[in-house]
A and B are shown apart, each in its own frame.
Chain A
Amino acid sequence: MKIKSEQFKEVAREELKTRHTRAHLDVIGLFIQEMREASMATFPDPSAALELGRAIRAESVERLPELLEAFEKKATANGAVVHWARDAREANQLVLNIARERNIRLVTKGKSMVTEETGLNEVLVENGLEVFETDLGEFIIQLLERPPFHIQGPALNIPVQEICDLFLEKGVMKEPTLEPVELGHAARIFLRDKFHHVEMGITGVNFAVAETGTIINVENEGNIRLTKSSPPIQVSVMTLEKVVPTMKDAMHMLRLLCRNCTGQKIASYTSMDSGPNRGAEADGPRELHIVILDNGRSTFYRDPEAREILRCVRCGACMLECPVYGKIGGYPYGWAYSGPMGQVLNPLMIGQERTQDLYRACTFCGVCKTVCPAGIDHPKMFLRYRAHDVEGDSRYNATRRPWPEAGFMEMFTWATKRRWRWDLGIKAVRPFINRQVEEGFIRGLKGPLEGWFKSRDFPAMPRKTFRDRMRGRKE
């Protein structure tokens, strides 16, 4: 997947003008948020449930190396083959090799963020395999060749007419229809045929249980279950932070994940794999391969500032609630992970230089941190990334700030140290700020503050500060 995070501002401007984006985001705002809150309220003690989830994720990440080893041991004993991939290229190559060695031509996929991250589809297709995304939304954006709009609703914003045209063009159906149910049915018929002939199924993983060596997937369409149970070969790709200590922990995290994701107490389908078909079983793959991807995460693990990010369970609560995401949608973030989750993750994954807007396009409203069931403090991470830029920290591929800003901050902080300096500063900037005042308000200023005045006025700076007024009072 091509990374376009550096085009954040332009794409955001476009999206703000796109009627369909706005309409669908408003729907998310109205319904899914309410469903999320209502389903969280079904816990006997919602805040205790949230805290337990945070504790589980904190423990999982603290014990990561040990838990991964335990998971590998158990999964292997169950008959699965565990592969380790250092980066995206290695993971893709591993999957490709599994397919090649078995002469596989047809692959179905369950919705998976990690394979978006590695760009697996492109690699398989380039190498002559037929690959079908089977989640309806994911299927649509695969045909459209677009990034996901939302982590759970990748094609949420695509108008029905566009889907109809697309399905006709790509041969998914023969007769045009604008009925959403009929469109869904057409995709189902089309994909059902693929499931009949599929040779290898690829999925992501929601949780991996160290205690039992089990991988767990949740979904609402049943396509992941078909992808796992129809073909003889199953490949499940997970990033290394997906592991949790016990099955009990996994069950609690599922409760939180489904509520935060789609406002459900439990997803329509929850499937667990503890090894391949053992011979006497009715279905299930002959071979189960689990690919564990690092792709930079072990580096974050070693970095005490960044380790916390590994707690993320990709529920999407942060983006559902984020006011900025709620206006611009997923495209401006320019990669697999959007919203606050992507804003904390992407700068580490692809370097700060290309992702500056991600940690700057934030008002510090703190709603992401408040709802996060994994206990991530997103705003604190954004402050750290900003500090890395100021310091020009090369470990994060940070870029130094422009000198006018650095100079201003130098003077500003110098002035805060003594009141006489502060007053001196005020005297110096007042005529500059107040150069165009109409009836007590500034209606426009050129320069770095220009953006403000596109839609807003600003009160003129009064002749006397509050302190001046207090002094007047005493005298």
Chain B
Amino acid sequence: MNNPSLFIPCTVDLFLPEIGEACLQVLRKLDLVPVYHPEQTCCGQPAIHAGYVKKAKASAKHFIEVFGGDEAVVCPSGSCVCTVKDRYPELLQDEPDWRSRAKELAPRVYEFSQYLVDVLQVEDVGGAYAGKVAYHESCRVLRGLGVSEQPKKLIRAVKGGELVPMQGAEVCCGFGGEFSTNYPEISEALVSEKAENYIASGADVLVACDPGCLLNIGGYLHRHHPDKPALHIASFLAEAIRDEKR
């Protein structure tokens, strides 16, 4: 197995770089040396979702040029992976060459936990965590990629970590990119319910596989329940690995 290429979403690049570093730490723990293409930017999802599909073609083409030669592309965001897999071929439908490049790349792009469990066949990355963990099923991870068991397996394998059920785990947190600023009241109704369910689950930490959800849920928790952490799966695993060494 060659070393994977790391695709860092713009949300992580700009606001949550520690998630990217956590990905590196976990992959290195598995004796991999991830490749990082410094010319990568953003997959273009914000423009696609806002309807600027013609303009977003440029973003898609740049992505394909940067990552097209990689055997496996790993990304700590389910929704960005979905953009590449589902939206690119559609976006580029009237440019057959680009479209076939997009389709050819699609199956080689993986969400982080999916890559660990399905490709590397690793369920136990080591690490220890003394506490209860709730898992939020990010929409595009669960319904977009069909990934749900993979992160749960990784969490369960952490020594001392107890995965607890959470009511409405698979219900949207209300992020939706521009939705969260265009419809703040509806978005708040959804994210506050997510926070309530997390607290009611009795978990000590909430884990998710998408930085979008984490900006939303984390941002809400920071305002209303600052003692309740929400972590990306990579950050959770990297911390567990660090804690075990201690």
Given contacts A383-B49, A412-B47, is CB(A458)–CB(B215) below 8 Å?
A: yes
Instruction: Find chain A residues with CB under 8 A from B182 CB.
Output: 360-361, 451
Q: Which of A153-161, A200-208, A272-280, A386-394 contacts B (4 or more CB under 8 A)?
A: A386-394
Q: What mask results when residues 198 to 216 of chain B are scored 1 for a CB within 8 Å of chain A, else 0?
A: 0000000000000000011
Which residues of A, 364-390, contact B by the 8 Å Cβ criterion? 364-367, 369-370, 380, 383, 385-390
Q: What mask results when residues 123 to 144 of chain B are scored 1 for a CB within 8 Å of chain A, else 0?
A: 0000000000000000110011
Which residues of B, 181-233, contact A by the 8 Å Cβ criterion? 181-192, 215-216, 218-220, 222-224
Q: Which of A89-97, A283-291, A335-343, A462-470 contacts B (4 or more CB under 8 A)?
A: A462-470
Q: Is A324 an interface residue (CB 8 A)?
A: yes
How many chain A residues have a CB neighbour from B under 8 Å? 64
Given contacts A413-B55, A465-B14, is CB(A456)–CB(B190) below 8 Å?
A: no
Given contacts A360-B182, A422-B42, A458-B215, is CB(A365)–CB(B176) below 8 Å?
A: yes
Bound form: Cα–Cα A426–B10 in Å: 10
Q: Which of B33-41, B67-75, B97-105, B234-242 contacts A (4 or more CB under 8 A)?
A: B33-41
Instruction: Find chain B residues with CB under 8 A from A390 CB.
Output: 50-54
**Cβ–Cβ contact A451 & B184, under 8 A:** yes
Given contacts A416-B62, A452-B184, A456-B219, is CB(A470)–CB(B51) below 8 Å?
A: no
Q: Is B25 an interface residue (CB 8 A)?
A: no
**Knowing that A362-B176, A364-B139, A470-B38 are A-B contacts, what are 14 other residue pairs whose CB atoms are under 8 Å apart, sorted by A's residue number?**
A327-B189, A361-B179, A363-B179, A364-B79, A386-B49, A389-B51, A405-B50, A412-B46, A413-B52, A441-B222, A454-B185, A455-B184, A461-B15, A466-B8
Q: Is B119 an interface residue (CB 8 A)?
A: no
- Give chain B nearest CB distance to A410 CB in angstroms: 7
Q: Is A446 an interface residue (CB 8 A)?
A: no
Given contacts A452-B181, A467-B13, A467-B38, is CB(A365)–CB(B139) below 8 Å?
A: yes
B11 to A, closest residue via Cβ = A459
Q: Is A13 an interface residue (CB 8 A)?
A: yes
B139 to A, closest residue via Cβ = A365
- Give chain B nearest CB distance to A306 CB in angstroms: 16
Q: Is B175 an interface residue (CB 8 A)?
A: yes
Which residues of B, 118-177, contact A by the 8 Å Cβ criterion? 139-140, 143-144, 171-172, 174-177
**Cβ–Cβ contact B51 & A462, under 8 A:** no
A360 to B, closest residue via Cβ = B182
* 8 Å CB contact of B55 from A13, A409, A441, A462: A409
Interface SS, A side:
helix
Bound form: Cα–Cα A317–B174 in Å: 19
* 8 Å CB contact of B53 from A366, A387, A469: A387
B174 to A, closest residue via Cβ = A363
Residues of A within 8 A of B (CB): 9, 12-13, 16, 323-324, 327-328, 360-367, 369-370, 380, 383, 385-391, 401, 405-406, 409-410, 412-419, 422, 426, 441, 443, 448-452, 454-459, 461-462, 464-467, 469-471
Bound form: Cα–Cα A409–B52 in Å: 7
Given contacts A413-B55, A465-B17, A469-B21, is CB(A364)–CB(B41) below 8 Å?
A: no
Interface centre among A385, A386, A389 (most CB of B within 10 A): A386
* 8 Å CB contact of A361 from B40, B42, B183: B183
Which range holds the interface residue count of chain B?
A: 35 or more
B193 to A, closest residue via Cβ = A327
- Give chain B nearest CB distance to A340 CB in angstroms: 13
Instruction: Find chain A residues with CB under 8 A from B27 CB.
Output: none
Q: Is B48 an interface residue (CB 8 A)?
A: yes
Q: Is B113 an interface residue (CB 8 A)?
A: no
B175 to A, closest residue via Cβ = A363
**Cβ–Cβ contact A452 & B180, under 8 A:** yes
Q: Is B20 an interface residue (CB 8 A)?
A: yes
Q: What mask results when residues 62 to 93 of chain B are scored 1 for a CB within 8 Å of chain A, else 0?
A: 10000000000000000100000001001000
Given contacts A466-B8, A466-B12, is CB(A13)–CB(B185) below 8 Å?
A: yes
Given contacts A452-B181, A467-B13, is CB(A417)–CB(B223) below 8 Å?
A: no
**Cβ–Cβ contact B40 & A419, under 8 A:** yes
**Cβ–Cβ contact B186 & A464, under 8 A:** no
8 contacts between A and B (CB under 8 A): A16-B189, A360-B183, A413-B47, A451-B181, A454-B185, A455-B184, A455-B220, A461-B14
- Give chain B nearest CB distance to A139 CB in angstroms: 31
Instruction: Find chain B residues with CB under 8 A from A9 CB.
Output: 183
Instruction: Find chain A residues with CB under 8 A from B48 CB.
Output: 383
Instruction: Find chain A residues with CB under 8 A from B218 CB.
Output: 459
